[in-house]
Amino acid sequence: MTLKQIAVRNLMRRKGKAAFVLAGLAIGIATVVAVISFVEAMTGDINHKLEKYGANILIVPRAESLPLTYGGLSLGGVSFEMEEIRETDLARVNSIKNYRNIAALGPLVLGVVKIDTHRVLLSGVDFKTARILKPWWVVDGVFPEAEGVLSGSEAARVLNLQTGSPVNIKGRQLLVSGVLRPTGSQDDQLLFTTMATAQEILEKSGRVSMAEVAALCQNCPIDDMVQQISEALPGAKVMAIQQVVKGRMETLAHFRKFSYGVSGVVILIGALVVLVTMMGSVRERTEEIGIFRAIGFRKSHVMRIVFLEAGIVSVLAGLIGYAAGFAATSAGLRLFIEDRMVHLNVSPGLAAFSFGLALVIGLASSAYPALMAARMDPNDALRAL
Amino acid sequence: MSYILASNLVKKYGSGEATVTAISDMNFTISSGEFVGIMGVSGSGKSTLLSVMGAMNAPTSGCFVVDDIDIYRLKSEKRADFRREFLGFVFQSFHLVPYLTVIENVMLPLAIIKASGKKKRQMAESALAAVGLQSKSHRLPNQISGGEKERVAIARAIVNEPPILLADEPTGNLDTRTSLEIMDLLRQLNDGGMTIVMVTHSPDCAAFAGRVLQISDGFLISDN
């Protein structure tokens, strides 16, 4: 007979109570595991989706003058006569250390053209890349080929353009292949054509005015990417679009904090279940504890019995909670995330953490009941009958 | 050799006007190997005296010495060790653990000593043999009779081979025939050298003791 055997025998005798404590703690652990796993998977998914929505790094030619635009409004003449970036130089971006973090690199050539009596910005883009960088673009019509042009909604209104309309730009006859639905951005005011066509019209062969980069920043801080691109293009100015980056990070941080807060509350409830149930159990065992003390058990022996019982239940709760949390996360991901590419991996670190957390919560919650049991006066305990 | 000395023992409960004096200025000695009975009517202080002797109830004043150890000068955990090493206690209501088998109940005092499982089992079987209950070792307490429960309680009390056995009304819940069987058992243990102090209200049981301390209203009125 050992103290451990006494603990196990008592648990077996009070299976209902033991199961209740086990359930309370396991639910708490399962919630923590599910929340952490879900948050990590969702964070990865959200991050991935956010990064798909537009560029987060801009590459522009280095210029001495300050730009005179703010929030899309030009407050002075925007000069496009600065030295552009060579296309061959831009190719160096694909050789940086973290080139795998580049989801898309979209060069633009910009220039002002006159159509009828209106001055309008013409932009030459790689439409394949543009579709990655600007997934919110919805085209009434189709994307243009070499002799085509895509009109922003505002430009189409001002220039009275629609799909199929001819448009003469610097003596070159182009056909409107489509009109962008309103985006709420400066794209509404532009005309878009292929890079080669725009370079010919604007006489900027082999050069681009700027480039947009969509960088995947989950495993690489944005500042590192900016630094690496700057080193590859010493003649260009490389900037992170701070608002976009900060906004993303704040969204993820809020989501994470809320989730952890909820799981903290559930864990607290689990701990209270353990505390109250163990206290009730100790009160019911007044006679038994009196016997233990009368036959020579020290207070520490009595406490050890209570902790052993709590420890055994906690270990089981950790195992069951982890398995249940993992299963719940798998089910939740299938329900809430459409992207089948989101993966849930078995994490040994999380398993060890949940196991350890169950043990800590179970033992900590049993501390007061254990102390209560140890402090029982054997004489009073035996006389209580 | 065990030697028990009670010197000016007083035990009071409560305070102020509600104070109750359970033991009043009691003095006696018990030599090693004696069989002493403590007699008195209900409320005379017998059980209080036994609990003081069992190192479970500190006296209000006075001292209690066993084998030159002043029990109540020891810290709580040391007193627990003393109970384990020096005393075997037989309770009035048996106080067996209901979810442990007979042999597991007997092994209970061994749960905290350093010995192999095999050795502990041998000690328990030996104690059960001494009380004649080897055949019932795997029964639960609710599967045996009152007399058998008392034997199990005695086996548990002697499994550690303590020098002193304290028995509180060991035959209080038993019929006459079974009571005599239990008393015979206690006499055999005493014949083996164990010091026994037994609280009883039965003159028939007290007759088994070599000496009887008569208590009334907390006072020791005779020592025969």
pLDDT digits (tens, 9 = 90+) for A35-48: 888 877 777 766 66
Chain A residue at shortest CA distance from B105? A1
d(CA A156, CA A162): 7
User: In the structure encoding, which two tokens stand for residue B21, read together?
Assistant: 């004096």
Check B77 against A300: CB less than 8 A apart.
Answer: yes
pLDDT at A103 over 90: no
As a residue count, chain B comes to 224
Please judge whether B97 and A291 are an interchain contact, meaning their C-beta atoms are less than 8 angstroms apart: yes
**Is residue A266 located within the same domain as residue A191?**
no
pLDDT, average across residues A20-46: 84
Q: Are residues A79 and A181 in the same domain?
A: yes
pLDDT at B116 over 60: yes
Pair A217, A290 in one domain? no
Whether B51 and A379 lie within 8 Å, measured CB to CB: yes
CA distance A309 to chain B (A): 15
CA angle B122, B126, B127 (to 5 degrees): 120
Q: Which of B56, B80, B107 is the closest to A1 by Cβ?
A: B107
- DSSP structure class, residue B87: E
Look at A351 and A341; give whichever has higher pLDDT: A351
User: Can you tell me the mean pLDDT for A281-294?
Assistant: 88
Among A194, A217, A240, where does a domain finish? A240
Asked if A268 and A376 sit in the same domain, the reply is yes
- Report the distance separating Cα A29 and Cα A361, nearest Å: 10
pLDDT of A168-206, one tens digit each?
998 889 999 999 999 888 889 999 999 999 999 999 899
Question: Which residues sit opposite B38 in a β-bridge?
Answer: B199, B213
In chain B, which ranges are E strands? 4-13, 20-30, 35-39, 61-66, 69-70, 87-90, 164-168, 195-200, 211-216, 219-223
Q: Are residues A198 and A148 in the same domain?
A: yes
| The pLDDT value given to residue A76 | 45
Write out chain B residues lying below 8 Å of A297, CB-based. 80, 84, 111-112
Q: Evaluate if residue A78 carries a pLDDT over 60.
A: no
The pLDDT score that the predictor gives to residue A57 is 86
pLDDT reading at A384 higher than 50: no
Quick one: pLDDT band at residue A133, thresholds 50, 70, 90?
Answer: confident
Supply the pLDDT for residue A242: 63
Strands of the B20-30 sheet, one edge to the other: B20-30, B4-13, B61-66, B69-70
Average pLDDT over residues A102-109: 88
The pLDDT confidence band at residue B78, using thresholds 50, 70 and 90, is very high
- Residue B118 Cα, gap to closest chain A Cα (Å): 10
Residue-wise pLDDT tens digits, B18-48: 888 888 989 999 999 999 999 988 888 888 8
Contact B80 A3 (CB under 8 A): no
Cβ pair A323, A355 in contact under 8 A: no
Residue B35 confidence (pLDDT)? 94
Do A301 and B112 make contact, defined as CB atoms within 8 angstroms?
A: yes
What Cα–Cα distance (Å) separates residue A180 from each residue in A129, A277, B137?
16, 65, 91
Angle formed at CA B69 by CA B68 and CA B70, multiple of 5 degrees: 115
Lowest mean pLDDT, pick from A41-55, A136-150, A171-185, B123-137? A41-55
B-chain CB neighbours of A6 within 8 Å are 100, 108, 111
Q: Are A255 and A36 in contact (CB under 8 A)?
A: no
Query: Which residue of chain A comes nearest to B103, CA vs CA?
Result: A1
Better-scored residue on pLDDT, A295 or A337:
A295
A119 secondary structure, DSSP code: E
Residue A38 burial class via C-beta count within 10 angstroms: exposed 0-12, middle 13-18, buried 19 and up: buried
Angle of CA points A58, A64, A69, to nearest 5°: 55
Q: With an 8 Å Cβ cutoff, are B77 and A385 in contact?
A: no
pLDDT for B68 beyond 60: yes
Q: In terms of pLDDT, which residue wins out, A245 or B201? A: B201
- State residue A144's pLDDT score: 92
B81 confidence band (pLDDT: 50, 70, 90)? very high
User: With 80 as the cut, is the pLDDT of residue A238 above it?
Assistant: yes
Q: pLDDT at residue A63 above 90? A: no
The reply to whether A236 and A258 lie within a common domain is no
Q: Which of A3, A293, A299 sits opposite B111 (nearest CB)?
A: A3
- pLDDT of A301 over the 90 cut: yes
Closest residue in B to A12 (Cα) is B99
* pLDDT recorded at residue A340: 54
Residue A385 has pLDDT above 70, yes or no: no
Task: Spell out which residues of chain B touch residue A3, defining contact as CB-CB under 8 Å.
Answer: 111-112
Q: Is A154 on the interface with B (CB under 8 A)?
A: no
A251/A36: higher pLDDT: A36
Looking at the fold, whether A134 and A203 belong to one and the same domain comes out as yes
Is A344 in the B-facing interface, judged by CB distances under 8 Å? no
A292 — contact with chain B (CB < 8 Å)?
Answer: yes
Question: What pLDDT, on a 0 to 100 scale, did the predictor assign at position A194?
Answer: 94
Question: Do residue B80 and residue A298 have CB atoms under 8 angstroms apart?
Answer: yes
* Total domains, chain A: 2
Q: With a CB-CB cutoff of 8 Å, which residues 77-116 of chain A face chain B?
A: none
Query: Are A290 and A170 within one domain?
Result: no
Asked whether the beta carbons of residue A296 and residue B80 sit closer than 8 angstroms, the reply is yes
What is the structure's pLDDT at A218? 62
Q: Check if A287 contacts B (Cβ < 8 Å).
A: yes
Q: What is the mean pLDDT of residues B60-64?
A: 92
Q: Kindly indicate the confidence band of residue A49, based on its pLDDT and cuts at 50, 70 and 90.
A: low
pLDDT at A73 over 80: no
Same domain, A90 and A155: yes
**What residues in B contact A295, CB-CB < 8 Å?**
83-84, 89, 108-109, 156
Q: How many contacts (CB atoms, under 8 Å) link A and B?
A: 76
Same domain, A170 and A293: no
In this predicted structure, the answer to whether residue A157 has a pLDDT above a threshold of 80 is yes
For an interface test with B, the pick among A8, A287, A295, A299 (most B C-beta atoms closer than 10 Å) comes out as A295
Q: What is the pLDDT of residues B155-184, one digit of tens each?
A: 999 999 999 999 988 888 888 888 888 899
Q: What is the pLDDT of residue A74?
A: 46
Q: Are residues A233 and A271 in the same domain?
A: no
pLDDT for res A362: 92
Contact B81 A298 (CB under 8 A): yes
Give the residue numbers spanning the domain of A312.
Answer: 3-48+249-383
Final residue before a domain boundary, out of A213, A240, A267: A240
Q: How many residues does chain A have?
A: 385
Chain A: give the shortest CA distance to residue B61, in Å.
Answer: 18
- Looking at A219, A240, A261, the residue that finishes a domain is A240
Q: Do A299 and B80 touch (CB under 8 A)?
A: yes
Tell me which chain A residues have a C-beta less than 8 angstroms from the C-beta of B82: 296
Average pLDDT score, chain A: 84
For the residues A82-100, what does the mean pLDDT come to? 84
Q: What percent of chain A clears pLDDT 90, i.e. is strictly above it? A: 33
CB–CB contact A291 B108 (8 Å): yes
Structural domains in chain B plus CATH codes: 4-223 (3.40.50.300)
Judging contacts by C-beta atoms under 8 Å, the chain A residues touching residue B89 are 294-295
Average pLDDT, integer, range A357-377: 91
**A283 and A340 both lie in a single domain:** yes
Within 8 A of B117 by CB-CB distance, chain A residues are 2
Contact state of B109 with A295 under an 8 Å Cβ cutoff: yes
Q: Indicate the residue of A12, A288, A296 with minimum beta-carbon distance to B83.
A: A296
Contacts of residue A288 in chain B, CB cutoff 8 Å?
Answer: 97
